Amino acid sequence: MAKTTITAEQPKFRKESVRRPTVLKDDGFKESLKRRVAGLILPFLLFAIWQIIGSLGFVSKTVLPTPSDIVMAFKNLVVSGELFTHLKISVLRAAAGFILGAGLGLAAGIAVGFSTKTEGVLDPSLQMLRTIPHLAVAPLFILWFGFGEASKILLIAKSAFFPIYVNTFLGIREVDARLFDVARILDFSKWKQIKLLILPSALPNILLGIRLSLGAAWLALVVAELMGSTEGVGYMMMDARQFSNTDIVFVGIIIFAAVGKLTDSFVRLLETRLLKWQDTYNGR
Amino acid sequence: MTVHIRVREKSFKKGQTAVQVLRDIRLELEDGDFITIIGPSGCGKSTLLKIIAGLDTDYEGTVEIGGLPVVGPGTDQGFVFQEHRLFPWLTVEENIAANLSLKDPEIRKRVDELIHIVRLKGFEKAYPKELSGGMSQRVAIARALLREPKILLLDEPFGALDAFTRKHLQDVLLEIWRKKRITMVLVTHDLDESIYLGNQVVIMKTKPGSISRIIPIELPFPRQRAHPLFQEMRQKVLKEFETADELPLIEGLGI
């Protein structure tokens, strides 16, 4: 009887194996293109209206330069190489601060996540530090480290530290306890438990933490550069403000937005690559 | 592997008072036995299985497998849970191998063999989210088998599956049992399943959980549910239930 049942069930398998490819490719290229175009409609409309208002002379150029003015300013800055020098120093600062802060945040999050003892010792103090606004510690950092790079990088590191710390901690504590039973039955070593169970399970939270930390680092960079510096995109903007070059201020804003978005997209790309196993609602 | 199970007492603390969940359990398993445990919900059958697995060591008594006492969970006691409990971030073959390396040619060979046995060819690289419930449970069984356990413990493994898939998996399990001759203990609340699979059906009762009766099923494999002898056995097991005075608790058994 067992034999006959098995053959009777066979068509079911075939059906499953046919079904699988359709599960794997969900969104077509056309769909994603459509969605992208939909996202561009509003900005384009806004730019058009903006340009028309500026060209007709309703608003003074020092208050609101037109999009074409901004594009020209951007072109000039690119051609003179000024933009590149400022951008380079800004990106280096943000990167250094981010690596320092996020690296420590990740390490602290893992340490606190794994042990309630470490949590008891570290977490209360860290939570207290977390609530201090960046602007409040900025004067202190300047007093201690001067106007040089150290105070800027430390300020950025401070902001990048907390989002990844909190999320890593949370991610580790949210590992399904039932999977720990499986790990015990399969006789996982401590290392395998971390590598196969805890880190993959916490990865969505860790990646979210990285995204938030990147955003925080970028925000802190602006604060640090406006605080007082002689190079960087923030300095370029402050300098332009003094000469009422509003178009350059706009270029700075756009650069901050673009680089911020670019790094965010990079992490999201990482997310889709690393979290393809996730079975969650993607929105419709 | 012969298995001796003695649980004098097991209780859970509920606030200040202790609630006794198991009392005087004695089970002797011969090498290659297929024991099914059936009983009303709350009779402690899952707790008993956890004790045999070594997942629960807070009880009075001993469990010995092949003469060695079980002191904690390990690969000698394979376990299949009601939910598949696969790692969602690992593919089918990675889930089966888990902490063992697929780069090891010996492991690779055995994983491929098991994928063939549980009939998942073509799904080696699929993630759990792409599998049906029955397929996931087959992966879980393969994962347990790869460790070559001395005893395979199954806690209502097919409880959440539809009738067709369940029947199919029962046959897969029987085939594995007959090929590998692993001692198996399966907890279920499905009367037919207990008779279809077991060579002994252990009937448990509640308050406190204890063994009501052990009924040997001497029908040849493969068994046929419609056969008069099968039905006779079914009546016998059913009657045993009715003598246990907790009848209201066995609703939903399909009786």
Structure tokens at B8: 């004098």
Q: What is the DSSP letter of A284?
A: -
Q: What pLDDT sits at residue A284?
A: 56
Of the partner residues A2, A20, A184, the one whose CB lies closest to the CB of residue B175:
A2
pTM over 0.80: no
CATH class of the structural domain A67-275: mainly alpha
B126 and A20 in contact by Cβ < 8 A?
A: yes
A239-283 pLDDT, tens per residue?
Answer: 888 888 888 999 999 898 888 888 888 888 888 888 888 877 666
Q: Does ipTM exceed 0.90?
A: no
Q: What pLDDT sits at residue A170?
A: 93
Structure tokens at A215: 């955003």
Say yes or no to pLDDT of A5 above 70: no
Q: What pLDDT sits at residue B31?
A: 85
Beta bridge partners of A52: none
Q: What share of chain B is helix, strand, coil (3-state, %, to 5)?
A: 35, 25, 40
Residue B36 and residue B65: Cα distance in Å, rounded? 18
Cβ atoms of residues B120 and B135 within 8 Å: yes
Rounded average pLDDT per 10-residue block, chain B, 255 residues:
82 81 86 87 84 86 85 87 90 90 88 87 89 88 88 88 85 86 89 87 82 82 82 84 58 46
CATH 3.40.50.1220 is the classification of domain B3-246:
no
A2 and B171 in contact by Cβ < 8 A?
A: yes
Give the pLDDT band of residue A8 (cuts 50, 70, 90).
very low
Structure tokens at A41: 């409609």
Beta bridge partners of B80: B154
Q: What pLDDT sits at residue A275?
A: 87
Residue A49 and residue A215: Cα distance in Å, rounded? 30
Average pLDDT over residues A134-152: 85
* Closest to B141 in 3D by CA, of B186, B102, B74, B204: B186
Residue B186 and residue B183: Cα distance in Å, rounded? 10
Cβ atoms of residues B176 and B117 within 8 Å: yes
Of the partner residues B99, B126, B143, the one whose CB lies closest to the CB of residue A196:
B99
Q: Which residues of chain B does A185 touch, with a Cβ-Cβ cutoff of 8 Å? A: 53, 55, 73-75, 77-79
Residue A199 and residue B227: Cα distance in Å, rounded? 52
Q: Where are the domains of chain B?
A: 3-246
